[in-house]
Amino acid sequence: MSRKYFGTDGIRGTVGEEPLTAEFALRLASAAARVLAPDGGTVAIGKDTRVSGYMFESALEAGFVAAGMDVMLLGPVPTPAIAYLTRSLGADLGVVISASHNQYQDNGIKFFDRQGRKLSDEIEEKIETNLLEPAITRPSESLGRASRVDTARNQYQWFAMSSVPQDMRLEDMKIALDCSNGAAYKVAPRVLADLGADLIPIGCSPNGKNINMDCGSNHPELLQATVTATGADLGIALDGDGDRLLMVDHEGNLLDGDQLLFILANARHKEGVLAGPIVGTLMSNLGLEKALGDLGIEFMRAKVGDRYVLELLQENDGVLGGETSGHLICLDKTTTGDGLISALQVLTVICQSGLKLTELAAKMPKYPQALVNVRVAGKMDLNSKSVQASVQSVEHQLGDCGRVVLRASGTEPVVRVMVEGEDAMQVETLAGEIADAVSSAAA
């Protein structure tokens, strides 16, 4: 069965359009309860700062309570906090209401199992099958109850603090922090302030509609300007639900997920505590692969999506992986991608090494990449003759010094074209050629 609703990171779309309606959310809760907790149990529900989060929270609460499940409402907390709290509170599943890095007009729903891990494709397919059934409403004596967990944010804050050495302090460090007006707007500043950092917060004033708007990891320009204007030592950019991380060095240069992953891998390798391979994705920079290879560290590529990075890590007993976009997974610290905890791990390396962020990143050369998003009306055949002819032509021109990645996005109606090579102008031109071929084939 091919999944109709679930993409690479849960169900996502425009609020008010199928499937992102209150009625669908209620049925989804009922279907998830059938599959994951048929005999009742407890579900933890958290959300980001979108105005539509209240609506979906209420609809999901109704669906789960009607199906006989107790509901713990966590309020606005980062996605990785929900993964942690699902485990620590003993819930049978966790639910996140968020569209991650998308604008406020979108929203989404995704699940964690009782271990705080994302669901497998097979489980998501079972939930979709159960969506065909009417929503459950049990008799009064079998209904669940709902309650709010007022300590959720504090519990996650303590967990994040526990991921760094007890004696680590940031008193000598000025840090600009951009929380994207999203779910981490309270907890991230509190953690860094408690560690003693001289903090410059931006993107920490959500109003329900400004999440990811000209700020955060999607738009780091504000953070880059803030770092250079204030003389900060570095900048930290999270996305709307707090699971992505980008950083800015003291010169205003942006560091992506590949560079941050290299910094963490190199440090753990030097300490002799690195286990298994490093896992990236098809989009990971060739420079990361080569830099790790020079250190004798195995590198593997998963499909795009942090859930697939996680699966490959678990299959190969690895602990570090991530995506260029900033989804970093540190399995020696937590169970899922966590922007705040990843930032704390990089800060730990800085404190222990005495090196600046720019010095740590300099050891990984980046190959020029060109990424073009081609908007399409629906699913299209990427194996069409015209598209494949263009791809083969570009691959021939690149030879052994570059790569081509062509894939349909799992979260947006776009086809992503990525060309990587040694010459920046060449890869821009070649990516444009493939994008034109895709656009023509989609017309």
| pLDDT string in tens for the chain (443-residue length) | 567 899 878 999 999 999 999 999 999 999 999 999 999 999 999 999 999 999 999 999 999 999 999 999 999 999 999 999 999 999 999 999 999 999 999 999 999 999 999 898 899 999 999 999 999 999 999 999 999 999 999 999 999 999 999 999 999 999 999 999 999 999 999 999 999 999 999 999 999 999 999 999 999 999 999 999 999 999 999 999 999 999 999 999 999 999 999 999 999 999 999 999 999 999 899 999 999 999 999 999 999 888 899 999 999 999 999 999 999 999 999 999 999 999 999 999 999 999 999 999 999 999 999 999 999 887 777 888 999 999 999 999 998 888 999 988 866 789 999 999 999 999 999 999 999 999 988 87
The angle, 0 to 180 degrees and rounded to 10, between the axes of the packed helices 339-353 and 187-194 is 20
Q: What is the DSSP letter of 120?
A: P
| CATH number for the segment(s) 256-361 | 3.40.120.10
Closest CA relative to residue 13, chosen from 106, 82, 92: 106
Place of tokens 């086809």: 415
CATH topology of domain 11-151: Alpha-D-Glucose-1,6-Bisphosphate; Chain A, domain 3 (3.40.120)
Longest dimension (CA), the chain: 69
Domain boundaries, the chain: 11-151, 173-252, 256-361, 369-442
**Dihedrals φ, ψ of 59, to 5°?**
-65, -45
**Model pTM score:** 0.91
User: Which amino acid belongs to residue 309?
Assistant: V
Q: 154 exposed, middle or buried (CB, 10 Å; 0-12, 13-18, 19+)?
A: exposed
For the beta carbon of residue 52, count every other beta carbon within 10 angstroms. 21
11-151 and 256-361 in the same fold: yes
100 is catalytic: yes
Report how far residue 102's alpha carbon sits from residue 100's, in angstroms, rounded to the nearest whole number: 6
Tokens of 298: 């195995």
β-pairing verdict for 41-47 and 93-97: parallel
Selected from 3.40.140.10, 3.40.605.10, 3.40.120.10, 1.10.260.40, the CATH number assigned to the domain covering 173-252 reads 3.40.120.10
- Of 30, 52, 98, 100, the active-site residue reads 100
Selected from 1.10.260.30, 2.40.430.10, 3.30.310.50, 1.10.645.10, the CATH number assigned to the domain covering 369-442 reads 3.30.310.50
